Amino acid sequence: MPSQYAEGYMRKTSEVPKDRWKKFKGMFNKERQAALHNCLIIGIDFGTTYSGVSWTTVAGFEEENINIITKWPGSDSDQAKVPTQLYYEYGDETPLWGFQIQNDLEALQWFKLLLLREDDMWTDLQESAQIGQARRLLRENGKTAQDCIADYLRAIWKHTQKIILKAHPNYLIEALQFHVVLTVPAIWKDYARKAMKQAAQKAGILDYRSAGETTLTFAPEPEAAGLAALIDRGTDAEPDDVFVICDAGGGTVDVITYKVGNNRPLQLHEAVEGDGSVCGGIFIDEDFIVQCRNRIGRKWSNFSPAHIKTILTEEWEYGIKPRYAQTNRRDNYPVSILHGPLSGSDLNDKSREPHIKSGYIHFSSSHIQKAFDDRAVPGLLKLVDSQLKKAYSKGLNVTGIVLLSKIRFQRRTAICRGAILKGLMDAPVTAFVPNAPSVLSTVSRTCLGVKMSQTFQQGVHRKKDRYFCEMEGRYRARNQMDWFIKKGDEVAKAGPIRNDYYRTYTNKEDFQTSSFNVTIYQNDSEHPPTRLTDSVTSYSTLEFNLEGFEYGSLEDHTGPDGRKCMEFNYTLEMVPSGASTELAIYVQGQKVGSELVSIKLN
């Protein structure tokens, strides 16, 4: 095939008409109901510091019954979440996980964040002591971040199946198809989501079941949080209300703004471009430990990881932090160091504040406030302030701000419940679930498009881009950008963005022995360039294998000079989801399977 045809030619833009989707939903409503009643939705909130699981069926959802796991190995009390941590014992391939890990063991934590490439990490995260510790433990155990995620998901998945089987007869569960929803930060890019999916496969989540294929989708954490938080408000959320949702997790903080379209059932539209940052609760924890270290001084080096972990969990995580965050503030917050390495006069030192008395460091309210104010809270407030400014600039009247924090029980269960709601929306069947909430549109966080050739127009295209196409008998302009999605565009989820393209072939041999690549480009400007420039970077590459397609099925094309060729027509689809984008190719109205299309993330 001549090199000048390496680029696709745009024919037209073809978004699916709304009336067709309405008709489509009506045609398949009954079938979807039957399919969903044979489906078990399982939501896994895989967090940086804590994780949780929930599940339901359509019948359960209609009875407002979403099950949340509260029993975990190693814990005698009910807990809505389990620590996201692992410990690899020498010679044992199955690691300890969650509550099984005692404080005297140095647990591997924060490994989820190591899926991010270093250049996608914020400076605070790169320099974090906890991230440094996680990297060291990965090296010592000969593991990658994906290995650890797979091991953790395998453990939580086995426990989930065990709990579900306790609640329902085995024959009933075996008859249900599983649809799993895994939460991810909205700032996670495609390469991180791909690594998460591979980890889920290694964990056995997608293993064969006689009831049918187990399907997996990702739910951006703020979307799950928004669905759960606003559905909890019930009729308090009125049409046209605008809510800013701030989801403050252990590692990441995401903000998103929704406008209510309807409240029976709840229907949401993302109103402005969401945002996120790595400024979660781990930085509050780090800054508290820094205060402990500064107060103890040089002898802090005698504290083992187990001593520090005891302070973090028993004194801070389950003691001071939740009480302080709920505004039940006091003048004095004692932190025990009795089980540490200090003794004698070191356990009573009033030479400087905070005082150490009888083996307790007596922090004041201002000391505790400093742990919140150093990094985490300013980062959160900056995100919320930016979101409010974006909303006001679009003329939106913000009804309220909903804060979901890992410190509070509300956030500990909201993401789990939101994952279930997302699962009911995205289950692998074809219409809607009665009364299920939905997010009808999102706002793109970047510009995405493809490079193409266009018919050359004097005064529009640059002369250096012009070339003569002998096959079509006219001048064309190469290196032109066709932007599917521009930053800030509202994208309706019911009608994915699709553009039609074609490629030309002159003989059967070239067609049946070839493949072609489609490179997706990105640009972060609200006004992207019309042609390929240095500011446009490669986002991903789709490789399309033409085996299995018949040359005779192509459309005939005759150029102005009588030269004949064949056209291969295809449709490229993009569906944004947070900082990620789902890509697909259609031929003759049918989606092409993964055996013919592979996606390489750049």
Tens digits of per-residue pLDDT, 245-288? 888 888 888 898 999 988 777 888 999 888 888 788 888 888 99
Q: Give 6's strand partners.
A: none
Average confidence score pLDDT of the chain: 82
Q: Are strands 177-184 and 39-45 parallel, antiparallel or unpaired?
A: parallel
Q: In the Cβ-directed half-sphere of 96, how many Cα atoms lie within 13 Å? A: 14
Q: Given this model, what pLDDT does residue 32 score?
A: 41
For residue 270, is it within any domain?
no
Structural tokens at position 337? 């160091």
- The CA distance from 508 to 501, in Å, is 20
> For tokens 């510790």, what's the residue?
133
Whether residue 23 is predicted with pLDDT greater than 60 in this model: the reply is no
Q: Which pLDDT does position 392 carry in this prediction?
A: 94
Rg (alpha carbons) of the chain, rounded to whole number = 27
Alpha-carbon span 283 to 128, nearest angstrom: 8
At which of 404, 439, 474 does a domain end?
A: 439
Within a domain: 249? no
* Residue 11 shares a structural domain with residue 130: no
Buried b (16+ CB within 10 A) or exposed e, 310-343: bbbeebbbebbbbebbeeeeeeebbbebeebebe
Q: Give me the mean pLDDT over the 119-146 stretch.
A: 85
Read off the pLDDT of residues 175-232 as tens digits, 9 standing for 90 and up.
888 999 999 887 787 788 889 999 999 999 999 998 888 989 888 888 888 888 777 6
Residue 561 has pLDDT above 80, yes or no: no
Q: Which residues partner with 455 through β-bridges?
A: 476
Residue 245 belongs to some domain of the structure: no
Q: Same domain, yes or no, for 57 and 163?
A: yes
Half-sphere exposure of 240 (CA within 13 A, CB side): 3
pLDDT for residue 15 is more than 80? no
Q: Residue 35, SS3?
A: helix
Specify the range with the lowest mean pLDDT, choosing from 48-57, 151-160, 173-182, 409-418.
Answer: 409-418
CB 591 within 8 A of CB 585: yes
Residues in contact with 252: Cβ distance below 8 Å, sequence separation at least 6, in sequence order: 48, 185, 187, 221, 276, 277, 278, 279, 280
Based on the fold, state whether residues 88 and 176 are members of the same structural domain: yes
pLDDT band at 86, cuts 50/70/90?
Answer: very high
Domain residues for the domain of 186 are 37-231+413-439
Report the C-alpha gap between 384 and 380 in whole angstroms.
6
- Are both 47 and 158 inside the same structural domain? yes
Any domain includes 301: yes
Q: Say what percent of the chain tops pLDDT 70.
A: 86
- CA-wise closest residue to 245 among 128, 131, 388, 422: 388
Query: Are residues 154 and 58 part of one domain?
Result: yes
Residues 208 and 71 in one domain: yes
Distances (CA, A) of 93 to 89, 154, 540, 583: 8, 12, 35, 37
Last residue of a domain, one of 349, 373, 397: 373
Q: Are residues 486 and 422 in the same domain?
A: no
User: Do 107 and 70 belong together in one domain?
Assistant: yes
439 strand-pairing partners? 268
Distance CA 421, CA 382 (A): 29
CA distance 417 to 54: 7
Going by the DSSP 8-state scheme, the letter that residue 458 receives in this structure is B
Domain count, the chain: 3
Q: How confident is the model at residue 456 (pLDDT cuts 50, 70, 90)?
A: very high
Are residues 332 and 222 part of one domain? Answer: no
461-496 residue pLDDT tens:
999 999 998 777 789 999 999 998 888 888 776 567
Rounded to an integer, the average pLDDT of 327-349 is: 86
Return the amino acid letter for 580.
S
Sign of CA dihedral 522, 586, 493, 253: negative
The token pair that represents 106 in the structure block? 């140095």
* Among 149, 369, 388, 127, CA closest to 271: 388
